[in-house]
Amino acid sequence: MDSRPRETDAPGDPANGAAPPLAAAVTAATGDVEIIRPRNDKRGYRRVVLPNSLECLLISDPDTDKAAASMNVSVGYFCDPDGLEGLAHFLEHMLFYASEKYPEEDSYSKYIAEHGGSTNAFTSSEHTNFYFDVNSDSLHDALDRFAQFFIKPLMSPDATLREIKAVDSENQKNLLSDPWRMSQLQKHLCAENHPYHKFSTGNWNTLEVKAKEKGLDTRLELIKFYDSHYSANLMQLVVYGKDSLDNLQNLVENKFCDIRDVGRKPFSFPGHPCTPEHLQVLVKAVPIKQGHTLRILFPITPNIRCYKEGPCKYISHLIGHEGEGSLFYVLKKLGWAMSLEAGEGDWSHDFSFFCVVIQLTDVGQEHMEDTLGLLFRYIKLLQNSGTPKWIFDELQAICETGFHYRDKSPPINYVVNISSNMQIFPPKDWLIASSVPSKFSPDAIQNVLNELTPETVRIFWESKKFEGKTKLAEPWYGTSYSVEVVPPSIIQKWVGKAPEEDLHLPKRNIFIPSDLSLRSVEEKVSFPAMLRKTQFSRLWYKPDTMFFTPKAYIKMDFHCPLSQSSPESAVLTDVFTRLLMDYLNDYAYDAQVAGLYYVVKPNDTGFQVTMVGFNDKMRTLLETVIGKIAEFEVKADRFSVIKEAMTKEYENFKFRQPYQQVLYYCSLILEDQTWPWDEEFSALSHLEASDLGIFLPHLLSKTFIECYFAGNIEPNEANNIVQHVEDVLFNAPISACKPLSPSQHLAKRIVKLEKGLRYYYPAMCSNHQDENSALLHYIQTHQDNVKQNVLLQLLALVGKQPAFHQLRSVEQLGYIALLRQRNDSGVRGLQFIIQSTVKDPANLDARVENFLNMFESNVYNMSDAEFKSNVSALIDMKLEKYKNIREESAFFYGEISEGTLKFDRKEAEVAALRELKKEELVGFFNDHVKVNAPQKKILSIQVYGGLHSAEYETIVQNAPPPPSCEITDIYGFRRSRPLYGSFRGGVGQMKL
């Protein structure tokens, strides 16, 4: 596929090759600029430049429930002083702590959390971005705190030392991550005098040990860096709220006018990171995980210099195509590739790389030279094809429709995207950026195509097969690698001996929507209604009464009792869904390109088909998917490729981060009728194509389909589609599908923990190289109940920031230290998750208990005003409107899938919150959460990393102290415990 950046929601589609007229322009209040915006965007926009040269974009959205802001600072790790790697990133961390105006440590994050919001930041090569969202009526105070980052931050010596440890912990988390390792290897094999070569994150060694060796005080260097680099003229601010533009302007002028403008010139880093010695190279690298990856990089002219012409978008569309005649189509047919992506990779205004990433099969690994030969042959085909205009027109139409009918995204994502764009694009293009190529320039396309040559190529080939055959090591992550020169003459030989395959340009895209009209809705419907019910299926329907876009959402859950009856059947169901997607790809790839997304995947009762996007061609695609299910044939060659891919995924399970492993063990212990990964892996190893051929008719022999249709679709059409599905699957002369008996309807049920007991499950980290340990401390409270739900949610809201501050900021236990709610099929509770190299999991467990003892006073001493403020923050969060059809459908289908059918859940919980008393919160805490509470039910999952193996040996050898109980056999434990009843019943939605 083409790996260009995508919107969070579906990129759009065109009107049958004819591009819609470009967006309406919004005139800024200053009259000096027009900002191009989507046709269906009713928000107000205004560009403002403050006297201190801070450039701002104000966005007024009277319908929003969330306000947000993002400050982009045009300073990144490229500016790190030599020998102080990670300083820019460290500064990003430090600005969160405290300011002269708000000296209480962590008060900013506390305020945001208590007012329904979230906050974060990131540092990239040339910018650092700080952002938050908050309930809309709290924007003023949140902005006041946020602005102090850039006016007078406090960087206390104590906080400085603690936060260096946090940066180090963040780096520890990444040390065994292949994406981080390979990215740094690419940077390492570049010119040392170019900032691209740098190590961006920083760690204890760079920020503390080496700094001291050089006689540097890191805190003083930090302040010096801030004073000289953070200047208002290098900042771009976006503020999104429900106030009028005039009020937002007054607010921003008032809060941000005191940021200093030191007249810092914008930083520039001319020159390319790669000199001739870094080109024409083949780098073999040893990854952590199983798999073979081929990354082919070419230095090119940055697309940003001609983004209206969009040459990279055009080229990545073709090289990343997956339809007939494409490079991927041929590699897949040969059994050599599992996936292919193409697009612009790392880039700045001064340099860029075009990147092709191919995941190879084991056979493909043996045919690397042929694979590269086919790639260069396809590039030569494009270079000689003369850039047909119809391909550009089609791409432009797809991109324009996507822009005009772009779904609303959460304000926090929107402001980050725009503030980042402000550093790069002129004001009129801040919203559209480079998403829509608007000028057809064969020369611009040809120029970039001509840069994809054997003379400039960098080939990175990753595989465990190179273990023991590489002599070099990248210094920051320790990745083993070797380098050899690959002159163009060698690549020409590979091109010559590659198999003769029919590579050609794609055909025209039949999925580009031509009908973008909106269906009429006679009445405003708030909730889904059941349109039809038969012995084969049930159809829920919800028209679009909120978003008014030509998009729909379809979910079809195939309930098949056999799908989860054993590890073998679970694996075969997974193989079946992957093969189905594999068979559909050549035909349906165009649908994805045109903004119509689909996926077929297994779930806990069978498998599901999901579609979302432009509704115009959705029925065509759905009927094709159903037809493939009805006529499914097992192709042995594709079965082998899917089996190989799944085998690698199972093998890579042990390389998951410890915090992911504790989440896995928690689900395995709590969820009845789930199978452990090692048993599924064992089952997969002896399965053959013939096993799937035998299994599939049995899988479908008892089926019930739960359907949900929403959006721009009429009830008769939904009815007709479901009738068609029934006719094809159940009513055909020869049909594998038979209806499900009422007694066979499946329900996921959850283990009920025992009151007053603390269960714990210790395990060694499955990757012995990983030094990190992890804890999941779960407190099970209740099964779905409106009053108890809101008490739990309120407690989580009140506790989230104090837990983070104490466990992460003060005690420095690790970069990941979270308090969250947990919901397993309606059974709810609180969970603490900590990943650490500092303390072993049993010690982390003790720190959680210690925190809960400290937190008691927060709960008991909460003032009435504070209680009301937290309640009203939670109410605001619950009343937040859905932003797009996906969000709305996810909530309603969740109620259907769980069997709760409480479509008015939010309204009911808001009503309960309005009646809630502080004493009830204290009572809930005392009964369920407080240390030694009488009703308390605890499950402590402990994964011990390499640094804590001795502690693991001790804990498994020692007898558990009362009232603790060690789980030594997960499945025996599951069988011995009672289960909560399920809300999910049969066709009539009976309660179990």
Helix (H, G, I), strand (E, B) or coil at 832: strand
Burial-class residue 118 by CB neighbours within 10 Å (0-12, 13-18, 19+): middle
CB-based contact 811:847 (threshold 8 Å): yes
Q: DSSP alpha helices (H): ranges in 701-785?
A: 715-729
923 vs 931: CA distance, rounded Å: 13
N- to C-terminal Cα separation, the chain: 45
Residues 6+ apart with CB under 8 A from 865: none
Nearest to 301 by CA among 342, 352, 345, 356: 352
In residues, how long is the chain? 992
Q: Give ∠ CA 316-317-319 in degrees, rounded to 5.
A: 60
Strand partners, 764: 944
CB-based contact 193:488 (threshold 8 Å): no
410 vs 884: CA distance, rounded Å: 9
Residue 716 vs residues 528, 621, 722: alpha-carbon distances, Å: 15, 18, 10
Main-chain dihedrals φ then ψ at residue 652, nearest 5 degrees: -85, -5
Residues 6+ apart with CB under 8 A from 686: none
What are the tokens at 20?
Answer: 């819609």
Query: Which residue type occupies 160?
Result: T
163 is catalytic: yes
CB-based contact 134:81 (threshold 8 Å): no
Burial-class residue 598 by CB neighbours within 10 Å (0-12, 13-18, 19+): buried
Strand partners, 354: 298, 344
Given the structure tokens 């020998």, which residue do they identify? 83
Quote helix, strand, coil % in the chain, to nearest 5: 45, 20, 35
Main-chain dihedrals φ then ψ at residue 938, nearest 5 degrees: -120, 140
Catalytic annotation, pick one of 85, 92, 309, 909: 92
Computed on alpha carbons and rounded to an integer, the radius of gyration of the chain in Å comes to: 29
Strand partners, 472: 481
9 vs 595: CA distance, rounded Å: 9
Catalytic annotation, pick one of 55, 163, 394, 888: 163
What are the tokens at 453?
Answer: 């040559």
Helix (H, G, I), strand (E, B) or coil at 847: helix
Give me the torsion for CA of 888, 889, 892, 897, rounded to 10°: -150
651 is catalytic: no
Residues 6+ apart with CB under 8 A from 17: 390, 393, 394, 397, 508, 512
Q: Which residues are marked as active site?
A: 92, 163
